Structure 1
Amino acid sequence: MKRLLSTLAVASCLLTGFQAVSWAQSLPGLTLFSGVRGENQLPYRLDFGGQADGWDRYILRIPAQKMKLAVAQIAITYPDYYKGTFDPNKVEVKIKDKAVPLSEVKWDKEGRIIQIYPQEPLPSGSKVEVVLSNVKNPSFGGTFYFNCQILSPGDIPMLRYVGTWILSIS
């Protein structure tokens, strides 16, 4: 089966002159030795392939089982060596493919944090997607750990760790 697929991919390149583009370039693969336990790794997708120094859209997912409580704030932190840029005006939060109204999105460049405040708390048990559009990837590739923390309404004002997106920029 592998041989057949490889042959078809090569044949399509030779006949059409175009490369067969793989979704594998924009989806997380198997991560070994990341330092992040498997149950804490969050799924994501890079819509435009995660190319260094290119424009992209990050779709960062929070599975329903991680949403044990309602959420009044999502905070995304990233490492100091990530030199990409974000557009706070192009941030969306989606539940069941529907955009949730946001009251505010703050990007603190020095603190390396994106804070997202929905108008109404996100319900517990919901599958959430955070869509960061108009992202300029860093000019060099690498692996970047984006941590997700949440704040529940009426909670002690302390962010709680949900998981980590391990992004690969090539």
Structure 2
Amino acid sequence: MRRLLSALAVTSCLLAGFPAMTWGQTLPGLTLFSGVKNENQLPFRLDFGGQTNSWDRYILRIPEKKMKLAVAQFAITYPNYYKGTFDPKKVEVRVKGKKVPLSEVKWNKESRVLEIFPQEPVPAGNKVEVVLSNVKNPAFGGTYYFNCQILSPGDVPLLRYLGTWIISVS
């Protein structure tokens, strides 16, 4: 009976630890003193843990409630102290889980912006995921603010702020 109880205790501790490990690199949860209002924080996931100096896949999500307008261009800006690299050939946009054809992806290193142009405007009111594969994380850890801006079709050519992904690399 004693062995059974100790095995049960160890098993329950292991099982209780799994959710904490698997959710470790998703939406930042409770973020104190970020300077970004809670309603402007966007959810994300780092598929390979966000480890320094390693390869990763960033899945940057935009909830339906944020997609009030159709989108002809996504612009993702990041801070000057982020020293990671992106592969413009490995960028995807998914709407409701389906890949959207892209006409062009431009990475302007000097301006620190990743511009994504879908072939057809992404319709309003849909959940969107921007998938950045083959990302080389920076050599040094830190917290990085990735801002999402959009351009609507036929709109005045000014980008509109949608929100911020607060990404930690450790």
TM-score (norm 2): 0.89
Aligned runs of 1:44-59 on 2, under 5 Å? Answer: 44-59=44-59
Count of aligned pairs: 161
Alignment match, 2:142: 142
For residues 59 and 154 of structure 2, the distance between their equivalents in structure 1, rounded to whole angstroms, comes to: 28
Partner amino acid, structure 2, of 1:169: V
CA deviations 1:146-168 (Å, max 9, x no partner) are 00000000000000000000001
- The structure with the largest alpha-carbon Rg is 2
Alignment match, 1:169: 169
Report the alpha carbon displacement of residue 50 of structure 1 after superposing the two structures with TM.
Answer: 0.3
2:68 partner SS:
coil
CA deviations 1:44-78 (Å, max 9, x no partner) are 00000000101000000000111111000000000
For residues 167 and 10 of structure 2, the distance between their equivalents in structure 1, rounded to whole angstroms, comes to: 30
* CA gap 1:110/1:6 in 2 versus in 1, 3 angstroms: farther
Aligned runs of 1:96-115 on 2, under 5 Å? Answer: 96-115=96-115
> Please, what is the CA RMSD of the aligned residues?
2.1
Unpaired stretches in structure 1, ≥5 consecutive residues: 13-18
TM-score (norm 1): 0.89
* CA gap 1:81/1:9 in 2 versus in 1, 3 angstroms: farther
Unpaired stretches in structure 2, ≥5 consecutive residues: 1-7
CA deviations 1:113-158 (Å, max 9, x no partner) are 0000000000000100000000000001110000000000000000
Report the alpha carbon displacement of residue 22 of structure 1 after superposing the two structures with TM.
Answer: 1.1
* Identical positions, percent: 71
